[in-house]
Amino acid sequence: MRIALISDSHGHLPHELWEHLEDCDEILHLGDLGSLELLADLAAIAPTFAVGGNVDPPGLRELPPRRELERLGLTLRLRHEPWSARELAGDGIYLHGHTHIPRVERSGSSYIVCPGSVSRPRGQFPASLGTLDLMPDRSLLRLLPIAGGIPLAELTLLRP
């Protein structure tokens, strides 16, 4: 199963993004969508789950502030604001957006991941997304520039 991780589109999905999404089974958007119409565009490619960000209207059913998903025995926790190590309540992957800066950080048996921004990168980073390939024995997490090139981060998680 391949899951695309995207964030901070701010109303714009660059055309380079679409080729990364073609072979995805699911898409997770980590807030600052900017337009519910984009959610429909993403859902036309694969089932899409999103959380609301600080530029999204509050209270929308489609954009709750947090989500927790279970995929092949792996817990994925989603919200827009960054997670701190003191907030980690168990194993899994804690996904966030907001900073526009790609991040993979291990904290105990958990990981904190930000795929960066697909439309408004910050710092010296390019526009980026993440992919999470879930297999029975391992998971492969990659943070990728949407315009191509070498991965910004790559991590293999062995599964019990």
Q: Which residue has the higher pLDDT, 160 or 107?
A: 107
Q: Where are the domains of the chain?
A: 2-158
Nearest-angstrom CA–CA distance, 4 and 133: 9
Average pLDDT over residues 114-124: 94
Interval 3-38: pLDDT, tens: 999 999 999 999 999 999 999 999 999 999 999 999
CATH code of the domain occupying 2-158: 3.60.21.10
Q: Is the pLDDT of residue 124 over 80?
A: yes
pTM for this model (two decimals): 0.96
- Contacts with 140 (C-beta within 8 Å, 6 or more apart), sequence order: 131, 132, 133, 154, 155, 156, 157
